[in-house]
Structure 1
């Protein structure tokens, strides 16, 4: 079920580059409480087991059973100097009246802790310094390059859409061509059958004419025989019977001749109508096919072996870039809202389907924090309240 859901959501982001996807992922991940935190087991002067969390914003102190919510924090802006001697780590604050922040860590971890602290502190201070002219130019060039790549991606996506539309149009045209060709074939087949039937009817007509001629001859012979007998005044019983039989035969043949003639006439009319309809259908089908082929050849429809693409965009200028930026911002806001709705739905489904595990301590802590209306940033703002001395004293009493 989740695999099918993920496939559908993955298709929603079709056309997004790998860099954009990673950035969108990090925008969501950075709001998690444990994102970007490197944890180290430490002890304070009271030998309490604690965790030191080295982050991009400062140093956090966690209790042993809760890596989610820090107990106190020391921002990089308050820290002046960092050093260690064997297992002892010493941090000096900008506030000279505050005591040193001292903790003890495993001997092999001090060098790693020092490197992480120095690196994060340097990056923190660098982000807050005004950019030099060279850096500003580099950022401007990077921004222009990003916009150029975005415009190029939009152009490629637009061309791809047009190409797909041309492919669909071509498939539809080919389908219509096959349909018209099939109509012409069926019309020709019907015309052929009608012509064969007309020939058969003509043959039957000739046979009927011969039969009618024969029947007429027999009727004439019977009539002559009847006249002859009447003239000879033959009155014998046998001759009367013979005369009556000949008369009935002549009447039967005459009636049969009339009936056959009527049937032949009706069949001839029906076949004539079918022949006319078949020729009309053939004419219409051929007209459709010729009209379709002429439209394709004159260019009113795209050719079957080509794609109609929009002309290349001119070189981007400032106004164009500003429009692209605004369009990208609006699209990003819409996508973010949609993505947030999807994540909320997913969280609700997880909460219903999840089986509680014995070691899900962090999940329970996160749920309690969410019920209290706290998040990562509100917790850090609350912990920064008060002076460095107050927070240091709180740490030493843990």
Structure 2
């Protein structure tokens, strides 16, 4: 097997591993049951003892937010699998909740948005409500378009 074929084989195997690239965050549900939540390219995943119990795809999610230790997922009305339109998770502290929320915003923007508008940052007000975090990098679509436009026939990689 050539080195290039070995690299492709490794990437194909990693792509099929369910938990590859996923970082678990400990949380609890409204009944104080210990859970792990993670964010992936297709949405937010909920695990209990490393067993996937639920997936909230980006298409089903209307809004994600956090308030102190509480992380909220608001669902579209037609996609409700629950008796309510809001699912909440409780983290150990506000910082962990905010970190998970930021990761969700970044993943959603990267994988689901076509482009990101550059928003100028205003001066912070002394009494501001909520977070002003915005994803500022390229999206997946922008990266793919850039690679297609800048594609140049490259020499084959020689390994020693």
Paired residues for 1:4-19 under 5 Å? 12-14=1-3, 16=4
Contact 1:76 1:124 in 2 (8 A): no
**Which residue, 28, 36, 59 being the options, matches 1:77?**
59
1 or 2, which has the higher helix percentage?
1
Secondary structure at the aligned position of 2:77 is classed as coil
**Which residue, 104, 107, 114 being the options, matches 1:117?**
104
Contact 2:76 2:85 in 1 (8 A): no
Q: Distance in 1 between matches of 2:148 and 2:28?
A: 47
Gaps of 5+ in 2: 115-138
Q: In the alignment, which residue of structure 1 is the partner of 2:72? A: 90
- Structure with max Cα Rg: 1
Q: Distance in 2 between matches of 1:36 and 1:77?
A: 21
Secondary structure at the aligned position of 2:52 is classed as coil
**Which residue, 31, 34, 40 being the options, matches 1:46?**
31
Q: Distance in 2 between matches of 1:58 and 1:120?
A: 8
Contact 1:36 1:56 in 2 (8 A): no
Q: Distance in 1 between matches of 2:10 and 2:103?
A: 24
1:115 CA drift (Å): 1.1
Contact 2:27 2:35 in 1 (8 A): yes
1:90 CA drift (Å): 1.2
**Which residue, 102, 116, 120 being the options, matches 2:88?**
102
1:24 CA drift (Å): 4.3
Q: Distance in 1 between matches of 2:148 and 2:107?
A: 25
1:61-91 Cα shifts (integer Å, max 9, x gaps): 111x2x1x30111101111211111111112
1:319-342 Cα shifts (integer Å, max 9, x gaps): xxxxxxxxxxxxxxxxxxxxxxxx
Q: Distance in 2 between matches of 1:24 and 1:111?
A: 37
Secondary structure at the aligned position of 1:34 is classed as coil
1:124 CA drift (Å): 2.5
2:37 is the alignment partner of 1:34: no
Gaps of 5+ in 1: 1-11, 158-398
1:44 CA drift (Å): 0.8
2:148 is the alignment partner of 1:140: yes
Q: Distance in 2 between matches of 1:153 and 1:32?
A: 29
1:210-253 Cα shifts (integer Å, max 9, x gaps): xxxxxxxxxxxxxxxxxxxxxxxxxxxxxxxxxxxxxxxxxxxx
Q: Distance in 1 between matches of 2:91 and 2:99?
A: 11
Q: Distance in 1 between matches of 2:73 and 2:91?
A: 13
Task: Report how many aligned residue pairs link the two structures.
Answer: 128
1:88-116 Cα shifts (integer Å, max 9, x gaps): 11121233775211110121311210111
TM-score, normalised to structure 1, is 0.29
TM-score, normalised to structure 2, is 0.67
- Which structure has the higher relative contact order (CA within 8 Å, separation 6+)? 1
CA RMSD of aligned residues (A): 3.0
1 or 2, which has the higher strand percentage?
2
